[in-house]
Structure 1
């Protein structure tokens, strides 16, 4: 199949002409249709294709959208990409309307080539449409996989990997000089992948373990495929809005997502198939030891397996993807901000020394008392979200937002960036100030500072029907990794560097360059456990 690149303007013009010609005949009737009410304010668009041309010519699109909204001085805007209305929101009040008041009416998900491929035809919880099947999957996630009982049972796995990660860093920096540069992103991804593997598959490795405590070759390939696939879900692509162009790779993305999904399947599928075989055979597996066991063992009312093979592999890929970006991104940005603000780093270390000390390693049970470290994490979620927008919510029916008409099928994008940088919500929004969360009533619960945000003044794990099912474990993993790295090591700017460059990437909002910092052990040598594989 021929690949068409839209990076060439003349090529794009031809493709755009073709699209316009086809759509002119295919959806001519749409010209005469008028909305039933006033749409949110938006930019002028071309006939039929709307703002599709501006979307393609203004990359990255999320910056263009926010720039347009700022110029228009609006907190809700409507862009039309071909036949799809895309409504963007930067107001906490309207965000609450999206995720609370109109939650059920806006509970669907948008379709795309990438989401269809990785979810095996929308058989997962993240991308499947709202309905009976989705409700059943959500119930399984919340009452089985992410229940307090299950999370307590798997505490040992998470603690083991928290031990492994500080020993991995210890192994990286103890040889040679007193300090050594360490790639923080590599460390964070290693931890996230290892925890996810333990909890989902009950094993850390697919094949041979690495001697230094890091990931083996197959795990690195698996992680790299997951990491690359993340961009595919949050991108503004022509095919997201013109379905009949899917499969032609005109965005240059479809070939990559096919490759990444193939790699993930080659790693995951043999484990899933072997485990299903064990559960099916008499005398095989009888006890649930990990998330995969739970998914396989569940039965419907007739005593038949609740999930098919494709549904299980789709759920596993959901967990693969969901367990990587937030924790990695938050810890990397937080350490970068701390290195640029030594006084913040010192306060975090002092809190750890006061609450935990140096004679034992920080545990999940210490997290409620680590309020300053949680405040630092919250501030990084506010200033440096992993992506500019939340995943799209799609209108299941005609409705309204902030008094404006929202047609059925519209995509609503709540802006993580817009909420975090909104001066109506935050004093000095461009400043990194963890202290702002310590006495903020919206940032606290009965145990102290929290990473939950039901009031939608920023986005961490969202809220409503489509809220991330793994909020508790996501919060625990983030704070545990950050606290262990701060407790176990002294962090400093790399030699010859006076400041970390805080520049986000263009496709997502991860740091454009992985953070590299100088590290040396802070605890006695016996405090770093042996690697357990």
Structure 2
């Protein structure tokens, strides 16, 4: 009898297991729709055959007529979302279980082993760094403390463009590469706020970047290109021991090495100055990081956080400014309206200042419209699901990577009339005070929830101020023989396919332009 019962036990457990699986499959909601995965590798082959991956994902969402898509790659479920209501469930309503970050090759290398804030998974270290950044670095009080330094960079970019207006570039005087202007302004600003200096080297006499600054900017852009770039070895980590399958690792390592070659020696030197008593007063953000008392940061944490800040601030401003200027040049009515607002609220006898920004609703609407229609990246930084959940009526397994489509939210026909048309007036209706944030996620500007960007004030101020100075200080025309700006997107990212070139001409009295 004992032998008989023992022989029945495996059959009983097998039957119990299969019954539970059948019952749970009936009770459990389905996964979001998506391509049928192959055993073990999932949709890897389709992903590799359809580069760039973000366009393949959006194409599948359109073909399957769904606002939430599930793609399995290896053992990972990638959940893509383009609906504001569903996105709010992930990023705000239930963000307690959706606020962590996936571990990947690119994020680990970039954050020096997750020592920064943006890319770091949830935990005590993230809480410590987030608190420091929010209260000590990006607070309103610190923003006011840094006002003079920001003003110096606002004036320098004006000086640089004014100098270009006096210079013949090829056959055209005043020909300006707007993308370079945006990159230079952002990089100079971050360097001034963090290190107290505009340049790593000597820069150029006309106020433009030098070789060091150009190389540093190129390295930052390379890091951003390969950060969270659907790398095969992120889904099959064992491949890293065999080969750099996509070639991503070598490129991002070299870019990080180049970027930190410029930044880290300045940090080491400053720490030594404080240790030797040579420096005694706090003058910039690096001084603040070094002198934090409780908790005190290690040298490696300071270096990782400063790279974090450079990456977070680099691409948003230049991408937004290039697109908004291109759209405004193509639609002179919009440009004239922005000029009129500046002339009315500020005048032509003084330069626009940060104190004027609250009253410049149309300028802010132009910036917000570019954020909506032309986001800097197709998706947000991925979120990691720390527990299985049900969102939008679908089952979301623990360990899923959740990516919210900035394109899908901003170009959603259910949220926006005529969504593919650049129309700043849509943000003016009934709004006495236009802001760039959108906690309803109809526009993905600074996100929301626990992982919402703490740099809203800094990022908004820099972007709005740069556009206001460009519009107030100059008229902008297309180069000779060009009738309109080609608004085509780059295939592999969301920048303009061709950098915006425009001819700038001063529109204010010459004495108002900074000369040094």
Into which bin does the TM-score normalised by the smaller protein fall?
over 0.9
- Paired residue for 1:277? 272
- Paired residue for 1:503? 488
Unaligned runs of 5+ in 1: 1-31
Alignment equivalent of 1:518, drawn from 503, 506, 509 = 503
Q: Is residue 163 from structure 1 mapped to residue 158 from structure 2 by the alignment? A: no
Using the TM superposition, give the Cα deviation of residue 234 of structure 1 relative to its aligned residue in structure 2, in angstroms: 4.0
CA distance in 2, matches of 1:361, 1:249: 52
The 5-angstrom pairing of residues 207-356 of structure 1 reads 207-246=201-240, 248-281=243-276, 283-300=277-294, 306-356=296-346
- Paired residue for 1:199? 193
CA distance in 2, matches of 1:178, 1:449: 37
- Paired residue for 1:528? 513
Q: Is residue 117 from structure 1 mapped to residue 109 from structure 2 by the alignment? A: yes
Question: Residues 329 and 477 of structure 2 are in contact (CA less than 8 Å); yes or no, is this contact kept in structure 1?
Answer: yes
Q: Is residue 485 from structure 1 mapped to residue 470 from structure 2 by the alignment? A: yes
Alignment equivalent of 1:80, drawn from 65, 72, 75 = 72
Matched position secondary structure for 1:400: strand
Question: Residues 106 and 228 of structure 2 are in contact (CA less than 8 Å); yes or no, is this contact kept in structure 1?
Answer: no
Matched position secondary structure for 2:36: coil
- Paired residue for 1:188? 182
Question: Residues 383 and 403 of structure 2 are in contact (CA less than 8 Å); yes or no, is this contact kept in structure 1?
Answer: yes
TM-score by length of structure 1 reads 0.89
CA distance in 2, matches of 1:506, 1:308: 41
CA distance in 1, matches of 2:324, 2:513: 23
Matched position secondary structure for 1:324: helix
Describe the superposition over 1:491-510 as per-residue Cα deviations: whole angstroms up to 9, x where unpaired: 01121111111111222211
Aligned residues: 490
Describe the superposition over 1:349-392 as per-residue Cα deviations: whole angstroms up to 9, x where unpaired: 11111111111111111111111111111111111000110010
Question: Residues 361 and 433 of structure 2 are in contact (CA less than 8 Å); yes or no, is this contact kept in structure 1?
Answer: yes
Using the TM superposition, give the Cα deviation of residue 420 of structure 1 relative to its aligned residue in structure 2, in angstroms: 1.0
Question: Residues 38 and 405 of structure 1 are in contact (CA less than 8 Å); yes or no, is this contact kept in structure 2?
Answer: yes
Using the TM superposition, give the Cα deviation of residue 180 of structure 1 relative to its aligned residue in structure 2, in angstroms: 2.7
- Paired residue for 1:461? 446
Using the TM superposition, give the Cα deviation of residue 178 of structure 1 relative to its aligned residue in structure 2, in angstroms: 8.1
Question: Do the aligned partners of residues 179 and 347 (structure 1) sit closer, same or farther apart at CA in structure 2, a change above 3 Å counting?
Answer: farther
Using the TM superposition, give the Cα deviation of residue 404 of structure 1 relative to its aligned residue in structure 2, in angstroms: 1.1
CA distance in 2, matches of 1:434, 1:300: 45
Matched position secondary structure for 2:205: coil
Question: Do the aligned partners of residues 234 and 482 (structure 1) sit closer, same or farther apart at CA in structure 2, a change above 3 Å counting?
Answer: farther
- Paired residue for 2:12? none
Which structure would you say has the larger Rg? 2
CA distance in 2, matches of 1:436, 1:231: 32
Q: Is residue 473 from structure 1 mapped to residue 458 from structure 2 by the alignment? A: yes
Describe the superposition over 1:20-60 as per-residue Cα deviations: whole angstroms up to 9, x where unpaired: xxxxxxxxxxxx99985421111112111111111111111
Matched position secondary structure for 2:376: coil
CA distance in 1, matches of 2:470, 2:244: 42
Question: Residues 164 and 173 of structure 2 are in contact (CA less than 8 Å); yes or no, is this contact kept in structure 1?
Answer: no
Q: Is residue 107 from structure 1 mapped to residue 92 from structure 2 by the alignment? A: no
CA distance in 2, matches of 1:206, 1:62: 35
Unaligned runs of 5+ in 2: 1-20
